[in-house]
Amino acid sequence: MGMGPKVIWVLPNVAQFNKNGRGSFQERYYEAKKLNFDAIEIPADFIKNPTEVKLTGLLIGDVLTREAISKLYKKPSRRISIKIKYILHTDPQARRDSKLKWYNPEWRRKFIEMLNNLIEYFEMEPYAIEIHPGTKPNSIKNITSTMAELTEEFPRTKILIENRTHQLITDAFSMNKLWNMLRQEYPNIVESGRVGIVLDVQQLFTQTGKNRILFQRHLQIIEPEAIFGVHIHSGSRGHHTPSLKDPIPWIDVAKFLNNSLKIKEEFLINPEVHTKSEIQATRLFIERSLLSL
Ligand SMILES: [Zn+2]
């Protein structure tokens, strides 16, 4: 009897956790327990809005200091013993003033120091760290060496990169290029299952010009071994619950997922909506429409 792979359901970082700061590990944990999720997503962006500037005295795009972390994330007064997987979702370079500089070794050290400070604050090592590709002058080689450096720094954590529209890793071609480079340069790290890609379906759909045929072809050529998880949401103006009436051909995504689940022991699924009330509905959509082939 086949056991099938383990889907790790990741509770998305919804707006309700981010009022006047970034909330706490604990409230996400309790929500995850309530909704029967296996992991939580913790935002690890740089300073990203005027509220955070006000709270920390830093500027937009600044790397978080220890002090800033203690002001942005709530820490309970007494230590609660909790055990849950968490994923640090680092800065996606969504703003002009927060550039990812993987090409710069000193900047990379500052990025790693920030992650170490966050991990120290949460008193638990993350299951995965998600990074984003950024734009030029970064190169794919800069990204593979960053990923390798992160695996050395965080030996019990998976290092994942998310595709993003208009950045270096954006479609099936660049995903495969990255994956092949990782395999060539760091065969042992790849072999140990420590590095991979998180596929954001909506970002790929946007990148392929919202052309269903082209999108389908990209899904077909992505190296399935490279994909460790997916972000599922839809809506051109935001992160909402998908529907089979969406322009995204979800049936092709379902086939892709079905194949991924056959070859992976563990697979992350993040129903990446931005509102608490949409989490359940999005998970149900995934279970009923994408995983029930
Ligand atoms: Zn995403």
Is 198 strand, coil or helix? Answer: strand
List the alpha helices (DSSP H) in the chain: 25-35, 50-56, 66-72, 105-122, 140-153, 172-185, 187-191, 201-207, 212-221, 250-263, 279-285
* 1-10, 180-189, 253-262: segment of lowest average pLDDT: 1-10
Q: How far is the CA of 293 from the centre of ligand 1 (A)?
A: 24
Q: How far is the CA of 1 from the centre of ligand 1 (A)?
A: 34
Domain, as residue range, for 71: 6-290
Q: How many independent structural domains does the chain possess?
A: 1
Residue 53 located in a structural domain: yes
Q: Are 260 and 267 in contact (CB under 8 A)?
A: yes
- pLDDT of 252 > 50? The answer is yes
C-alpha Rg value of the chain to the nearest Å: 18
For residue range 14-25, what is the model confidence (pLDDT) as tens digits? 999 999 999 999
Burial 238-251 (b: 16+ CB within 10 A, else e): ebbbbeeeeebbbe
Nearest-angstrom CA–CA distance, 218 and 165: 14
Please tell me the predicted confidence (pLDDT) of residue 1: 40
Look up the pTM and report it.
Answer: 0.95
Residue 251 located in a structural domain: yes
Average pLDDT over residues 13-40: 95
Please tell me the predicted confidence (pLDDT) of residue 4: 55
Residue 230 located in a structural domain: yes
Residue 259 located in a structural domain: yes
Contact residues for 86 (Cβ-Cβ < 8 A; gap 6+): 25, 28, 39, 40, 41, 42, 122, 124, 126, 127
Query: What is the overall mean pLDDT for the chain?
Result: 94
Q: How far is the CA of 200 from the centre of ligand 1 (A)?
A: 5
Tokens representing residue 272 in the block? 């990446």
Q: How far is the CA of 201 from the centre of ligand 1 (A)?
A: 8
Q: Which amino acid is at 133?
A: P
The residue written with tokens 């994408």 in the block is: 290
For residue range 163-172, what is the model confidence (pLDDT) as tens digits? 999 999 999 9
Average pLDDT over residues 54-67: 97
Please state, in angstroms and as integers, the Cα–Cα distance from residue 142 to each residue in 145, 175, 190, following that order. 5, 14, 17
Residue 1 located in a structural domain: no
- Position 186 confidence tier, pLDDT thresholds 50, 70, 90: very high
Residue 275 located in a structural domain: yes
Q: How far is the CA of 236 from the centre of ligand 1 (A)?
A: 13
Q: How far is the CA of 237 from the centre of ligand 1 (A)?
A: 14
- pLDDT of 2 > 50? The answer is no
Please give all residues whose CB falls under 5 A of ion ligand 1, grouped by chain where several chains appear: 200, 231, 272
| Range ranked top by mean pLDDT from 80-84, 94-98, 284-288 | 284-288
- Residue 267: strand pairing partners: 7
Please tell me the predicted confidence (pLDDT) of residue 96: 81
Nearest-angstrom CA–CA distance, 137 and 158: 25
Q: How far is the CA of 78 from the centre of ligand 1 (A)?
A: 33
Nearest-angstrom CA–CA distance, 35 and 51: 29
Q: How far is the CA of 128 from the centre of ligand 1 (A)?
A: 14
Average pLDDT over residues 225-252: 93
Q: Are 197 and 128 in contact (CB under 8 A)?
A: no
Residue 186 located in a structural domain: yes
Tokens representing residue 259 in the block? 């194949």
- pLDDT of 45 > 90? The answer is yes
Nearest-angstrom CA–CA distance, 164 and 170: 5
Q: How far is the CA of 41 from the centre of ligand 1 (A)?
A: 11
The closest alpha carbon to 85, from 116, 117, 41, belongs to 41
Q: How far is the CA of 162 from the centre of ligand 1 (A)?
A: 7
The CATH number of whichever domain residue 210 belongs to comes to 3.20.20.150
What is the share, in percent, of the chain residues with pLDDT greater than 70?
96
Q: How far is the CA of 52 from the centre of ligand 1 (A)?
A: 22
